[in-house]
Amino acid sequence: MKKLCLAAFAFSLALAPMSFETKSATAEELVSCKAAYLCDSESGVCAYSANETQRLPIASMCKIMTLLLCFEAVEDGNLSYDEQIAVSDSASGMGGSQVFLGSGLSYRAEELMKTIAVCSANDSCVAMAERLSGSESLFVERMNARAKELGADNTLFANCTGLPKEPQYSCAKDVALMLRSLLTHKKYFEFSKVWLEDFSHPDGRTTTITNTNKLIRFYEGCDGGKTGYTGQAGFCLAATAKRGDTRLISVVIGAENSDKRFQSVKNLFNYAFANYESRKIAEAGKPLDIKLDVRGGKQKQIPVCTERDLTVFCKRGEEVNTTTEFYFDEGVKAPLAAGTKVGEVVLYRDGVEAGRSPLIAAETAEKFSYGDAYRAIAGEW
């Protein structure tokens, strides 16, 4: 892969340095909890933090990792949404939040994953853990390994449900990191936005499931998240909300009551939406001001575009200094269909990576044929 990095290809240039305040008097008054974290979902840039790396119990928010591993299993081809999952005695016997799965019955994986996302079903968590790893304990090993892979260094899981068991802990920053990864799976939003729904059992029973995250109904733009509560952890919430091009993640750990956790997250969202924006640097599908050399094509060069939007999360009105580096695959040959991946672009803000996207061909490059060569020669006579 060859690298192309020229100042002329910078999307935006200004002189002001990057400056983020992770704590401010304005935001400090808005949260009532042991720890909190507010960041941009796309880049992970922090807009507010308080005790963000303090190791604390997070209760059912650990199901963010449980769900992430389920979605990744589907992505890797190790699980299908239509697969029938047999429920063991241990899974059906789970206490706390549950959907009352019947021991010995089989349920579609998609339906079990939905109940985890919507009503925090402990029985569904264990059923999925046993399916994916053979036992809950082996699944927990994978949860901890995945946390390390993500860089969640202040996280240790003891089970897949978040029910009290020592030792287990996480922190507000790590929870936000795990939720960022979960949000990359678009199917998740089909589950997370469900407010009220009937869950049908194979034996004819019906259980009504209700979303534990009230903000999806009562806060504009909120379309996902995970609540948590135990006596040790207090009231917890990790939620996401999107308005315009800006998607935020807000995490609250250890609030005194349910109202305070929801209000704290709402206040943090309000603070960020009022003071920050996601400034679009490159629009997905829109040709950039650079072209790709194509070997053996009727056209020697074709335009390229980003596969997804590239944005910079910054304070409203703030000048930002951004540059880009382009990495093109070597030896790109015709024929080449529009939409084919041909490289990658990395966006930097003040020298720090702020995002990246695959580069794709914006046009089709047809192969230069013998007939084309003959006509070209004939045209010169």
Q: Give the catalytic positions in this structure.
A: 60, 63, 120
The tokens of 267 are what? 């206040």
| β-strand pairing of 246-255 with 35-40 | antiparallel
- Token pair 């929801």 in the structure block, residue: 262
The tokens of 98 are what? 């549950």
Burial (CB count within 10 angstroms: exposed 0-12, middle 13-18, buried 19+), residue 85: buried
Q: Minimal CA–CA distance to 359: which of 294, 297, 288, 300?
A: 288
Q: Tell me the C-alpha distance between 36 and 38, whole Å.
A: 7
Q: Tell me the C-alpha distance between 180 and 25, whole Å.
A: 26
The tokens of 154 are what? 């202040």
Query: How large is the angle between the packed helices 136-150 and 172-182, nearest 10 degrees?
Result: 100
Q: Tell me the C-alpha distance between 362 and 364, whole Å.
A: 7
Q: Tell me the C-alpha distance between 281 and 311, whole Å.
A: 5
Q: Tell me the C-alpha distance between 269 and 247, whole Å.
A: 10
DSSP assignment of 37-59 equals EEEETTT--EEEEESTT--B--G
Distances (CA, A) of 2 to 51, 84, 149, 362: 43, 46, 28, 19
